[in-house]
Amino acid sequence: MRARVLAVLLTVLALLAGLLAAAPASATGDRATVVSERMVGDRLLELVVRSDALRAEVGVRLLLPQGWRARQGHRWPTLYLLHGCCGQKGGGHRDWTEKTDVAEHTRDLDALIVMPDGGQAGFYSDWLDGPAWETFHLTELRRLLERRYRSGPARAVAGLSMGGFGALSYAARHPGMFRAAASYSGVVHTTYQGPRTTDALRQIVRNFGADPDGLWGDPVADARIWAAHNPFDLARRLRGIPVYLSTGDGRPGPLDPSGSGHDGLEQLLGEQAVALAHRLDQVGVRVVTSFYGPGRHTWPYWERELHRSLPMLMRSIGVPINQ
């Protein structure tokens, strides 16, 4: 009898072990895994991360603080830097380190800086029909960073162009996750003047071979979904954190090559930023603006605005800065 009971128990345990082994990664909360990591500089760590939300492997770059290896038990304040879209001007997790001096400029800061891939036109969202970038960044990657790279609960977020949208949309959609947000030439009002903005945004998605309706649906029929992601419509949810907005107005400026022409995209984004700044002021959000007039949609301005906003971002997460 005892042997029979033991046999039954062993059978049950074997079945349970099989079920656990077959369970999806989401059941354990461990849905992003590091496929590879390599140092590509004294502080710069390149990761390839497998994401269940994206069903793909994507790149992430980390700038490690100087004391990261020595202070094994320390949890590090974290700044997320989000890239923009669209080819030569942006579109990948290496952009910030290859096109700006962010590595040198942050060398003495006691902060972990995270630069994740966001897709060439992913728009930092869980698509209605497509990739789940928001889940990857704010659930999978965040947990991975906390578990493996000692990221702490003090976080700030900043980004350029599409990444400026991501910074403000993420901060507004997830109150309490970020202590400050900054947008440089960001898409901060996705329905500004109706089709003038929505058609341009949908064309960007189309240019990269995706169905524009797969992102947030139709701007009219699915207006609620658009509003649920739009920083302008979410302005009230940014109360309690400082927000930094910067853009040019599209005219050639001091950091543009001689002979540069007018930049219609930067003009549009500048108008969006002005509209959002007024809205943030109306609802009591602490907003700092850097509307610098002449300036096109180019990296020298975004590097400069990172420098200008960095003290605010670092103060919000408790990191001393002498710049």
Which structural domain range is residue 283 located in? 26-316
Note the pLDDT tens digit of each residue in 30-82.
489 999 999 999 999 999 999 999 999 999 999 999 999 999 999 999 999 99
Judge whether residue 7 has pLDDT over 80: no
Instruction: Kindly report which listed range (81-95, 190-204, 307-321) carries the lowest average pLDDT score.
Output: 81-95
Beta bridge partners of 80: 114, 157
CATH number, position 301:
3.40.50.1820
Closest alpha carbon to 144 in 53, 229, 23, 19: 53
Closest alpha carbon to 32 in 52, 59, 56: 52
Query: Is residue 149 domain-resident?
Result: yes
Q: How many CB atoms lie within 10 A of CB 254?
A: 11
Please give the pLDDT value at position 180.
98
Residue 157 pLDDT level (bands cut at 50, 70, 90): very high
Instruction: Provide, rounded to the nearest whole percent, the portion of the chain with pLDDT above 70.
Output: 89
Please give the pLDDT value at position 87.
56
**Choice between 159 and 14, residue whose per-residue pLDDT is larger:** 159
Query: Is residue 222 domain-resident?
Result: yes
Please give the pLDDT value at position 12.
34
Note the pLDDT tens digit of each residue in 84-134.
997 544 569 999 999 999 999 999 999 999 999 999 999 999 999 999 999
Mean pLDDT, the chain, as a whole number? Answer: 91
**Averaged pLDDT, 133-137:** 98
Give the DSSP H/E element, type plus range, for residue 260: none
Query: Is residue 120 domain-resident?
Result: yes
Q: How many CB atoms lie within 10 A of CB 162?
A: 27
Query: Is residue 306 domain-resident?
Result: yes
Can you read off the two tokens belonging to residue 269? 């984004």
Report which residue type is found at 265. Answer: L
Judge whether residue 304 has pLDDT over 80: yes
Split into its structural domains, the chain has a count of: 1
Q: What is the DSSP string of 45-71?
A: EEEEEEETTTTEEEEEEEE--TTTTT-
Please give the pLDDT value at position 323.
57
Judge whether residue 15 has pLDDT over 70: no
Please give the pLDDT value at position 111.
98
Query: Is residue 311 domain-resident?
Result: yes
Please give the pLDDT value at position 9.
41
Query: Is residue 136 domain-resident?
Result: yes
Please give the pLDDT value at position 321.
87
Please give the pLDDT value at position 16.
35
Instruction: Kindly report which listed range (23-32, 202-211, 264-273) carries the lowest average pLDDT score.
Output: 23-32
Query: Is residue 187 domain-resident?
Result: yes
Query: Is residue 14 domain-resident?
Result: no
Q: How many CB atoms lie within 10 A of CB 67?
A: 11
**Choice between 20 and 86, residue whose per-residue pLDDT is larger:** 86
- Per the document, the length of the chain is 323
In our burial notation (b when 16+ CB lie closer than 10 A, e otherwise), range 272-299 reads bbbebbebbeeeebebebbebeebbbbb
Q: Strands 76-82 and 56-63, how do they pair?
A: unpaired
Report which residue type is found at 175. Answer: P
